[in-house]
Structure 1
Amino acid sequence: MSHRIYNMTFPSVFKALIAKAERKGKTRQDVLDVTSWLTGYDLETIEKLMESELTFGDFFRQAPHYTPFRSNITGKICGVQIEAIEDPLMQEIRRLDKLVDWLAKGKSVSDIIGKYQV
């Protein structure tokens, strides 16, 4: 099953994630930091991809190395348990959603990463 978000451009989706965090007083850098931690992309590469036509699905498919702690990212996103999502690609996308949600709830990047690196 292919979800529409897989074919959307990385810049369009990522800008929406940044806007969500910024509305709650967080920064673009905060979103870059949690994304880098989750996916293994360095910050410079993420910035370059913001100017590309890469799809959001391919951003996750081509991630250099996911953090080994990502299975600790659990909970509900859009009413669905992350760990119950069968599609591995959608599960990774929802993990990033969860990290950005934590930012939007006022948590710092170090608090978020510390929460999952156990």
Structure 2
Amino acid sequence: MHRLVSALLLALVGTASAATLQLQPGQTGRLGEFTLTVLRVQDSRCRPDVQCIQAGELRASVLVRRGDRFALLHMTLPEQGVTSVADGWDLPVRLREAAFGRLPRLTFTDGQP
């Protein structure tokens, strides 16, 4: 019986999907135990309906709070990694995608890309 329960728990953990959150610049929201605030977005990406010499990138500055700890993340798309001022703090927050627009809607996830 104990093995069956263990196997079921492992199966459930393996099928758990990452949580997502969509925010625009200036908005704040919760992603699991983290509170995210999008402070600034610079978007030089090439729109899908335009031919460009370079693809460009999106850069976002995001304030992350977890309890009484804060971190300022600098995130890019396409993802080139996340830099943070909070060394040693494991932050599983990722910028997954961003919709085009005057105020781009950013999609964050708490899982791997």
More relative contact order, 1 or 2 (CA 8 Å, 6+ apart) = 1
TM over 0.5: same fold?
no
| TM-score, normalised by the number of residues in structure 1 | 0.21
Structure showing greater Rg: 2
